Structure 1
Amino acid sequence: MKQMRETRQESGRLTTVGGVRRAVRRLAGIHGVPAELRARLVVSVAAVARDELAQGRGVRVSLAQAGAGEKPGAGAALACVLAPVGTVCGAGRREFHGLPLPATAAADGAAVWHLPPRTPGNGAAPLPEGGAVPDGEAVHEELRAVLDRCDAVEAEHRLLKEELEETNSGVLALYVQLEERDEQLRRAHGQMLRELEDALRPAPLDVSGLELAVHYAPADTDAPTGGDLYDWFQLPDGTVHITVVDALGHGVRSTGAALNVTQTVRTLALEGHPPGTIVERASEILASIDPQLLATVLLARVDPEGGEVLLANGSHPPALVVREDGASSYLQVAGRGVGFPLPGSEDVLRARLAPGDLLVLYTDGLTESRKDPLEGEVRLVESAVRHRRRPIEEIPEAIAEDMHTVVLHPDDTLALALRLPRG
């Protein structure tokens, strides 16, 4: 104990836990140790003393000012020492766990508690040396201090709980505001996408003697369109030209590629190029604009008066015709698409529609939703036959709903239906 001043108060040899408690209370009272700290000190010293006393050794308790050279007074730090009477082998290596007030082991086997210095307002008035506080009164004072501390902690906990509830209420209100803001943004985003999609669509076509309707759904619900696109317009001779394009990829880039194809095809058709040459010519033109562009193309030229249909194809799924009586067939035309080697339609297929006959043009997203095109083509026939007599504006979406009852991989989907009305 070289770092301690000469001990000023020390008990005699103690042999009971009760005696230890009384000695600690007396010495702590002399030095004005606060009641709550004194309670922790009493419990801690008694716990260590109990181990010593159980081994038949007596102990001494002392309370001194720590630090040589310090003047005695209210500002000096204190150290409480519990020293066993006699020699304890290996005592300096002892460790103390679970004490209300931490202790350290001195080399001579003593347990030392370092107490904070008493400052004005944080300690009880010291008793004169040799004074004493009745043990019952001291215990009562310690208990009251502990209860006061518990009450203070409970009050602090209650305050923190109220502040937390208030904070949670504020956070919840913020979440509500953010949700409302997100909903506003979603609505604005959806409106913007719908407007952009409408801008990409050709104007509705009203041609006497022909019913037309289309359904489109992008693979990405956050994108207005993908690589599937269509175009329709009436030529000067009264026939209706329809283009269905499926450009490689998804998203905005494929949309740009599909737009390039439809606009190029429109220009060539209006210049008078026959359907059988348009796919090849469009591929030649677009090769210098976008060398990476790959797209399948299906062209249909329909005469509303006579019902004649001309079909040219570049690697695209075939058109489906469903007769008024329910008979059906795929109109197959060989060819290679825009950007493919040797592009162009190998032939032009001629067919004729009678009143009530339905022609369905589509992209592979409609029939390949289950990764089996042949199974998809069978289901497409069944769906088109089932819905062939519905109002034309309902047919494309009804077919898409049937085809997408199970979707193993999402893809852009386009379904376009035209029909010669019954008389």
Structure 2
Amino acid sequence: MTGHPYHSMPPLRWAVRRLARAYRLPVAVRARLVLSVTDLAEDELQAGRPVTLHTAQEAGADADSYVLAVTLRCPRATGPLAASGLPLPATKPSPDCATWRFTIPLPPAQPVSSSLPDDVSSRHDPWPDRTPGTDTQAVEEELRAAFAQTDAFGAEHRRLKHELAETNAGVLALYVQLEEGDEQLRRAHALILQELEDALRPAPLIVEGLELAVHYEPADPNAPTGGDLYDWFILPDGTLHITVVDALGHGLGSTRSALNVTHTVRTLALEGHPLQSILARTHEILMPLAPDLMATVLLARLDPATGKLQLANGSHPPALLLRTDGEARYLEVKGRGIGFPLPGSEQVLHAEIRPGDLLILYTDGLTESRRDPIEGEGRLIEAARRYADSPLADIPSSLAADMRTVVLHPDDTLALAIRTTRSGP
């Protein structure tokens, strides 16, 4: 079909349908081709400008097929054809024509006659099978094909939706199982770590004339080990010795460092070394073994019979003493920690704890949760006064909960409380 002009839509539409049938194009493709050609030709025909329809056979990709090229030309178009968004996209659109290509299997179909009517009312009709109902039949055939395709898409959509629902149900069930398994694993993991933590920390002490309580809170609840550690024991003379350590870092490495410090301090204390010399001596012993170790340390010795208190400090936050009348003061002692330059406590501070007084030893995680240690020390005094009349066993945890209402800098936290109960020497 070569270059036949069309002046109205019905002959053009019929020619495209006949062409598609002659080359055995699928009905759905034929319908799209008819719509695409008429969409492009509509403006031209309404403006009285004729269009032409061309066909050509081109070599195919293999010997078993060839390519049919169908071209609509609009030679008098006043602007580029609107070839975008067509039901069947053109493979080679240009300003005045559009081409569609189809792969046709061999043997080739018989081409249609090149003699095409310009109007359905032409007296010389070259289409022997054209009857008044033929156009209607072709349209119905295309509609049936479109409905069948729509029904097929609907059935496929329902099938996929059903499969998706089954898949989602299976994924949800698997997710629930995984969550249950993870929860069991977390509980087992937490139990093991809790047992490990309990094994690292000394057993509770019962000391006549004293009450003791401690609270530890890790920076990461899923990793309860850390560098904040304490040790307490009774010396041969009946004096209570307490060591509070804050080793640099988190996790098992800092726990190992803190344990090295507490074990070395315990050994030196039981050997009878003076309190002021223990920190410097601990540094000397540990540095060859762990040159990267850094830790702040607070040492306290308390005579339960007299209430006499001694403190040595190596870069650690000061102990807080709260009297029964509400008077509070920090027991400051200058010194440098293990792994610091010139380690050791510069002196030993002496104080007396009276019946009912409260002594708080802690690590910096308690007072520096808001990154301001000065503000934290003031808040700690207020919290200690607020809970001073509580059972001693509840005071460390109450202090930690109060002080950590806002945590800007998560850190391991240790709080240890001591209160004398003696009535006299």
TM-score category (smaller protein): 0.7 to 0.9
Post-superposition Cα deviations, 1:97-156, rounded to whole Å, max 9, x if no partner, equal: 33323345699x765433342689xx9xx9x98433611111111111111111112222
**Match among 36, 53, 60 for residue 28 of structure 2:** 36
Q: How does 1:155-174 map to 2 (within 5 A)?
A: 155-174=155-174
Shift of 1:285: 1.1
User: Could you say if the C-alpha distance between residues 139 and 351 of structure 1 is closer, same or farther in structure 2, counting changes exceeding 3 Å?
Assistant: same
Give me the whole-angstrom Cα distance separating, in 2, the residues matched to 1:45 and 1:403.
Answer: 79
Number of aligned positions between the proteins? 404
- Measured at CA, do residues 204 and 35 of structure 1 come closer, stay the same or move farther in structure 2, by a change above 3 Å? same
How far apart are the structure 2 equivalents of 1:110 and 1:358? 97
Matches within 5 A, 1:18-417: 18-54=10-46, 56-61=48-53, 67=59, 78-82=68-72, 96-103=83-90, 111-117=98-104, 130-132=128-130, 134-417=134-417
CA contact (8 A) 2:4 2:54 kept: no
Instruction: Measure the CA separation in 2 of the matches of 1:105 and 1:359.
Output: 90
**RMSD between aligned alpha carbons?**
3.4
Q: Note if contact 1:392-1:419 (Cα within 8 Å) is conserved in structure 2.
A: yes
Q: What amino acid does structure 2 have at the position aligned with 1:196?
A: L
| 3-state SS, counterpart of residue 296 of structure 1 | strand
3-state SS of 1:49 partner: helix
Q: 1:83 to 1:328 in 2, by over 3 A?
A: closer
Matched residue type, 2:102: L
Distance apart, 1:268 and its partner CA: 0.5
- Could you say which residue in structure 2 is the equivalent of 1:3? none
The range that moved more, 281-290 or 19-28, is 19-28
Partner-residue secondary structure (3-state), 2:370: coil
**Matches of 1:226 and 1:32 in 2, distance apart?**
80
TM-score, structure 2 normalization: 0.83
Deviation, 1:356, is 1.8
Q: Give the whole-Å Cα distance in 2 for the aligned partners of 1:295 and 1:274.
A: 20
CA distance in 1, matches of 2:100, 2:247: 82
> 2 CA distance for matches of 1:188 and 1:254?
23
**In structure 1, distance between residues paired with 2:130 and 2:102:** 20
Deviation at 1:62, TM superposition (A): 6.0
Deviation at 1:227, TM superposition (A): 2.1
- In the other structure, the counterpart of 2:118 is none
Superposed displacement of residue 61, structure 1: 4.4
* Structure 1: gaps spanning 5 or more residues: 1-6
Which residue of structure 1 aligns with residue 116 of structure 2?
A: none
Q: How big is the shift at 1:257? A: 1.5
In 2, the alpha carbon distance for the partners of 1:325 and 1:422 equals 17
Give the secondary-structure state (helix, strand or coil) at the position aligned to 1:138.
helix
Distance in 2, matches of 1:224 and 1:105, equals 70
Q: 2:135 and 2:326 mapped to 1: Cα distance?
A: 108
Residues 30 and 132 of structure 1 are in contact (CA less than 8 Å); yes or no, is this contact kept in structure 2?
A: no
CA contact (8 A) 1:313 1:334 kept: yes
How much has 1:56 moved relative to structure 2? Answer: 3.7
CA deviations over 1:147-198 (Å, ceiling 9, x no partner):
1111112222222222222222222223223322332232222222212211
**8 Å CA contact retained: 1:248, 1:295:** yes
* Segment of structure 1 superposing worse, 13-22 or 326-335: 326-335
Q: Deviations over 1:50-70 (max 9, x none)?
A: 3443454444546676559x9
Question: Distance in 1 between the 2:337 and 2:227 partners?
Answer: 14
Would the alpha carbon gap of residues 21 and 211 (structure 1) be closer, same or farther in structure 2, given more than 3 Å must change? same
1:243 alignment partner, SS class: strand
Structure 1 distance, partners of 2:374, 2:91, is: 84
Question: Is the 8 Å Cα contact of residues 92 and 100 (structure 2) preserved in structure 1?
Answer: no
**Residue type matched to 2:387 in 1?**
H
Cα deviation for residue 264 of structure 1 reads 0.3
State the Cα distance separating 1:403 from its structure 2 match. Answer: 2.0
Q: Is the CA contact 2:305–2:422 (under 8 Å) kept in the aligned structure 1? A: no
- SS of the equivalent of 1:114 reads strand
Secondary structure in 2 aligned to 1:283?
helix
TM-score (norm 1): 0.83
Question: Hey, what's the Cα distance between the residues in 2 that align with 1:12 and 1:323?
Answer: 113
* Partner SS for 2:6: coil
Q: Corresponding residue for 2:115? A: none
- Following superposition, the deviation at residue 247 of structure 1 comes to 2.0
Instruction: Look up the equivalent residue of 1:228 and give its one-letter code.
Output: D
Residue 243 of structure 1, CA deviation: 0.6
CA shift, 1:231, in A, is 0.2
Conservation of the 8 A alpha-carbon contact between 2:90 and 2:98:
yes
Which whole-Å deviations, capped at 9, do the CAs of 1:294-315 have from their partners, x for residues lacking one? Answer: 2222111122223222222222
Assess if the C-alpha contact under 8 Å between 1:14 and 1:20 holds in 2: yes
What residue is the counterpart of 2:122 in the other structure?
Answer: none
Identity percentage of aligned residues: 60
Tell me how far apart the structure 2 counterparts of residues 47 and 369 of structure 1 sit (CA, whole Å). Answer: 72
- Could you say if the C-alpha distance between residues 412 and 79 of structure 1 is closer, same or farther in structure 2, counting changes exceeding 3 Å? closer
1:391-417 Cα distance to aligned partner (Å, 9 max, x none): 111111112222223333222221111
Indicate how the Cα distance of structure 1 residues 246 and 75 shifts in structure 2: closer, same or farther if over 3 A, else same. Answer: closer
AA paired with 2:130? A
